[in-house]
């Protein structure tokens, strides 16, 4: 098998519990050499999907294929081709060295090779100084580094990661993700990460698979998932705050006029007049300013009133009433400069090309 071929494939997977589908996945491939990030909210079925990939859960219907061959009853030989890293590191009450060497010893490798691989991977994760330490004395970040070193020392054909960064504080999480991303690319390791954190997925994932209520809604590059969500559920999950329901009024060669809240918005698309659509627009693509004097050459110019200004991390989300709800994301300096406050009359604009249109239904 060569790079670009699927290492693992799912076909027609259905998994029920108490008459409800936990998973309903028609097709999914994990391509050799890639990191596939499976994202979705809590309870979407992400961990169940990972357990199925690992052979720890059996589907009620469908096929799990590894290197093109069906995995009917996952064997020890199959599981030895994988490595699984969980949210909790699950380390033995032994030294760091013993924990990294554990899987290698189970495989019956020569002692010299076991020692050398453990040393090399401890070095890769900057934990060589911890090798003599007892695992129970480690911090959360240190313990997860040991867990990852133990997994990658096995040189798995497929690395499965189940929210491994969630217990860590922000600086430790960011540093470890950056290091792991470099190591996965350097070693050409195929990996699947499941996470509800989009930042983690964007830092690690070559492709994103959006899982919502047990169903795959979209599998694509991070850029396309964020800018061209497949449906309104994906759009809402990836942070498209403006999902505007409208009716196509007319269409020219490259733009449609969509009637939303009694106003016409000009956006790209090829839907026919009379069709119902959603106009999806990220709040960072909306520009706002006080008053009604035009300050933009953008195709879409709107007037409205500020409904609320809410802190959003290092930015502020401004909710407006423009005959329909519209949100804009601005910096603290822009907020101070514009002097925005609830009830203020404002103007808003956005480029036609900033919008993405999804046919309704």
Query: Rounded to whole angstroms, how far apart are CA atoms 154 and 45?
Result: 27
Q: What is the pLDDT of residues 314-353, one digit of tens each?
A: 999 999 999 999 999 999 999 999 999 999 999 999 999 9
Identify the domain containing residue 317 by its residue range.
240-359
User: Is 175 a member of any domain?
Assistant: yes
Model confidence at 357: pLDDT above 60: yes
Beta strand spans in 107-241 (E): 158-162, 191-195, 207-212, 215-220
244 lies in the same domain as 227: no
Query: Rounded to whole angstroms, how far apart are CA atoms 84 and 265?
Result: 48
Model confidence at 2: pLDDT above 70: no
Q: What is the pLDDT of residues 173-189, one digit of tens each?
A: 999 999 999 999 999 99
Q: What is the pLDDT of residues 144-161, one digit of tens each?
A: 999 999 999 999 999 999
Model confidence at 3: pLDDT above 70: no
Query: Rounded to whole angstroms, how far apart are CA atoms 193 and 200?
Result: 9
Nearest to 95 by CA among 46, 123, 128, 47: 128
DSSP 134: B
Single out the residue in 236, 252, 273 at which a domain terminates: 236
Element (H, E) at 22: strand 20-31
Model confidence at 304: pLDDT above 60: yes
Considering the chain, what percentage of its residues have pLDDT values greater than 90? 89
Average pLDDT score over residue span 226-250: 95
50 lies in the same domain as 140: yes
Residue 4: pLDDT band with limits 50, 70, 90:
confident
Model confidence at 239: pLDDT above 70: yes
Model confidence at 224: pLDDT above 70: yes
Single out the residue in 210, 236, 262 at which a domain terminates: 236
| Higher local confidence (pLDDT), 295 or 65 | 65
Query: Rounded to whole angstroms, how far apart are CA atoms 336 and 342?
Result: 14
Model confidence at 312: pLDDT above 50: yes
User: What per-residue confidence (pLDDT) applies to 254?
Assistant: 83
User: What per-residue confidence (pLDDT) applies to 1?
Assistant: 46
| Residues facing 21 on adjacent strands | 16
Q: How many CB atoms lie within 10 A of CB 359?
A: 14
CATH number, domain with residue 45: 3.40.50.300
| Residues facing 311 on adjacent strands | 316
Mean model confidence pLDDT for the chain: 94
Query: Rounded to whole angstroms, how far apart are CA atoms 273 and 106?
Result: 65
Predicted TM-score of the model (pTM): 0.91
Single out the residue in 236, 258, 293 at which a domain terminates: 236
Nearest to 340 by CA among 312, 301, 310: 310
User: Is 1 a member of any domain?
Assistant: no
Spell out the residues 6+ positions from residue 203 whose beta carbon is closer than 8 angstroms to its own: 177, 178, 181
Average pLDDT score over residue span 277-294: 92
Q: How many CB atoms lie within 10 A of CB 342?
A: 11
User: What per-residue confidence (pLDDT) applies to 295?
Assistant: 79
Q: What is the pLDDT of residues 90-126, one digit of tens each?
A: 999 999 999 999 999 999 999 999 999 999 999 999 9
Query: Rounded to whole angstroms, how far apart are CA atoms 316 and 328?
Result: 8
159 lies in the same domain as 35: yes
294 lies in the same domain as 216: no
Model confidence at 48: pLDDT above 60: yes
């Amino acid at each position: 098998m060569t790079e670009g071929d699927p290492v693992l494939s799912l076909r027609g997977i259905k998994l029920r519990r108490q008459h409800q589908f936990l998973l309903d996945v028609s097709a999914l491939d994990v391509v050799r050499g890639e990191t596939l990030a499976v994202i979705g909210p809590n309870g979407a079925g992400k961990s169940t999907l990972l357990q199925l990939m690992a052979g720890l859960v059996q589907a009620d219907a469908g096929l799990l294929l590894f290197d093109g061959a069906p995995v009917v009853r996952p064997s020890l030989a199959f599981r030895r081709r994988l490595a699984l890293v969980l949210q909790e590191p699950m380390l033995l009450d032994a030294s760091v060295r013993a924990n990294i060497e554990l899987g290698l010893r189970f495989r019956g490798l020569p002692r010299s090779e076991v020692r050398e691989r453990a040393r090399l991977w401890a070095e890769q994760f900057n934990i060589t100084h911890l090798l003599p330490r007892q695992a129970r004395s480690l911090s959360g970040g240190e313990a997860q580094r040991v867990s990852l070193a133990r997994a990658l020392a096995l040189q798995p054909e497929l690395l499965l990661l189940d929210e491994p960064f969630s217990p860590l504080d922000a600086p430790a999480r960011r540093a470890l993700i950056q290091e792991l991303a470099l190591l996965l690319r350097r070693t050409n390791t195929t990996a699947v990460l499941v996470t509800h954190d989009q930042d983690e997925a964007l830092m690690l994932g070559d492709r994103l698979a959006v899982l919502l209520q047990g169903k795959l809604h979209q599998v694509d590059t991070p850029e396309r998932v964020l800018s061209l969500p497949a449906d309104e559920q994906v759009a809402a999950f990836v942070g498209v705050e403006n999902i505007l329901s409208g009716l196509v009024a007319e269409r020219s060669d490259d733009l449609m006029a969509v009637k939303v809240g009694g106003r016409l918005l000009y956006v790209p698309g090829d839907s026919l007049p009379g069709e119902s659509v959603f106009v999806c627009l990220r709040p960072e693509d909306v520009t706002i300013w006080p008053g009604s004097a035009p300050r933009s050459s953008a195709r879409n110019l709107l007037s409205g009133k500020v409904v609320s200004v809410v802190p959003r991390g290092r930015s502020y989300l401004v909710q407006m009433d423009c005959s329909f709800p519209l949100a804009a994301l601005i910096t603290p300096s822009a907020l101070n400069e514009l002097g925005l406050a609830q009830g203020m009359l404002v103007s808003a604009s956005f480029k036609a090309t900033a919008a993405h249109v999804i046919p309704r239904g």
